[in-house]
Structures are given as C-alpha cells and as structure tokens.
Chain A
Amino acid sequence: MTVILTIFAIGLSVGLLSGLLGIGGGVVLVPMLVFLLGVAQHTAQGISMLVIIPTSIVSVWIFYKEKLINYQAAAYMATGAVCGALISANLVQAVPASDLKRIFGIFVIFSGARMIWGTRKK
C-alpha cells in the first residue's frame, strides 16, 4: 500500500513538474525511479518510455484540435526517429547499468543547463 502511494506520488509530481516547467517527463522520472524506488537503470528507462506514450497522446489530441502540428515535419522526423530508436534501444541493452547511469547523468546535467539558459534569454 505504501509502495503504491509512493508510486502514485512520483507519477503525480513528474506530471506536475513537466506541465509546470514544460520539460519532458523522462528526465525527472528516471532519476526518481532509480533513487527513490531502487529500480535498475535499464528498467527505469524502459518504464519512462512507456509512461511517455499516453501522456503524449493526450497532448497531441489537444494540439491536433488547435491545429498546431506540422504534419510534414512530424512524418519524416518520426520515420527517422523510429529507425534510430530501434537501433539504439537494442544496443543499449549491452551497456552496463553503471555506465548507462553516467550517460544519463550527463543528459540530466545538460537538461538543467538548458533550462537555466532558457530563463536567461527572456
């Protein structure tokens, strides 16, 4: 029961933060799963992928109604992105968890730096 409440609270804060700050959920969710729930790095990243899907569908539905989607860019970039993701998602399984955690850490630092940079320009 406590575990379920913790998971729900994590999901809630991830959604709240991504809605509030306009950032993707993955960068917040993966460290929380790893540090708070002790989930393995690879599994945390797999779960993050899965959580992203329904959240994006909800947003895309809203954007579709507001006619904000560039379909040409979306179709071609998505085709490229799916090919890239299929390759790297397979390769990443062979990367040791400790190395993957470091790689992810660099990405988290990059995201933080980008956020600070974004607030300075305004």
Chain B
Amino acid sequence: MSERLKYLGAGFIVGIFSGLLGVGGGIFLVPIMVTYFNITQHVAQATSMAIVIPTALSSSIIYGFHGNIDINLAVNLTVGSILGASVGARIMKKIPAVRLKQLFAVLLIVVGVRMVLA
C-alpha cells in the first residue's frame, strides 16, 4: 500500500515538471526508480517510456486547447525523429559514447545559459 502511494506521489511530482517543461520526464523518472525503488537501470528506462506516453498525451491535449500545438510541424519532425532514433540506437553500440556525451553535455550547458540570459 505505502509502496503504491510512493509511486503515485513520485509520478505526480514528475508529471508537474513534465507538463511545465513539455518534456517526457524520463530524465527524472529513471533516477527516481533506480535510487528510491531499487528498479534496475534497464527496467527503469523501459518503464519510464511507458509512463511518458499517457503523460505526454494528456499534456499535449491541454497545450492544444490553449492553441500551442502545430500538428504539421509535429508530424514532419516525428518522421525524421523516428528515422534518426532507429539509426542512433543501432550505431550507439559501435562508437565510444563517453567523449560524445561529454561534448554534447557542454553544448547543452551553453544552450541552457543562453536561454536563461536571453
């Protein structure tokens, strides 16, 4: 019972951030599941994806009600995104990702600072 309440509570907090930022919430869900619920990394990643679907669906309906959705743009992006994701997941095993991750992380921080200062 208390375990279920903890799941609900953790999900609720992640949902708040997800709706606020327009992101899936996997970045919060995976560490929470691994750290607080002792779920293994692989299962946590898979489970987070399953949580992201209904969360993103309800948020996007609300964003749509407020006129903040562009279906054409989204469809075009999705076609490219699914193609890219399948290629990316395949070549991930062949290249050393650590250096790439560090480089991209720095780029993210620069972009983030630009957004904060803009």
Contacts and interface: CB of A to CB of B under 8 A. Distances in A.
A66 B114 CA distance: 41
A73 B44 CA distance: 9
B81 A88 contact: no
Query: Ordered nearest first, which 9 A-B pairs have the shortest CB separation?
Result: A11-B80, A19-B88, A84-B15, A45-B22, A15-B84, A80-B11, A105-B115, A26-B23, A112-B108
Contacts of B16: 84-85, 87-88
B22 to A, nearest CB: 2
A22 B88 CA distance: 9
Given A53-B60, A89-B59, A109-B113, A115 B108 contact: yes
Given A42-B63, A53-B53, A92-B19, A11 B81 contact: yes
Interface in B1-51: 4, 7-27, 29, 33, 37, 39, 42-47, 49-51
A70 B42 CA distance: 10
Nearest to A11: B80
Contacts of A115: 101-102, 104-105, 108
A74 B39 CA distance: 12
Interface in B78-118: 78-92, 95, 97-98, 100-102, 104-109, 111-118
Interface of B: 4, 7-27, 29, 33, 37, 39, 42-47, 49-60, 62-64, 66, 68-71, 73-74, 76-92, 95, 97-98, 100-102, 104-109, 111-118
B81 A25 contact: yes
Interface residues of A, number: 96
A85 B59 contact: yes
A74 B23 contact: no
In the complex, which of the residues A19, A46, A49 has the most CB atoms of chain B within 10 Å of its own CB atom? A49
Interface in A7-53: 7-27, 29-31, 33-35, 37, 39-40, 42-53
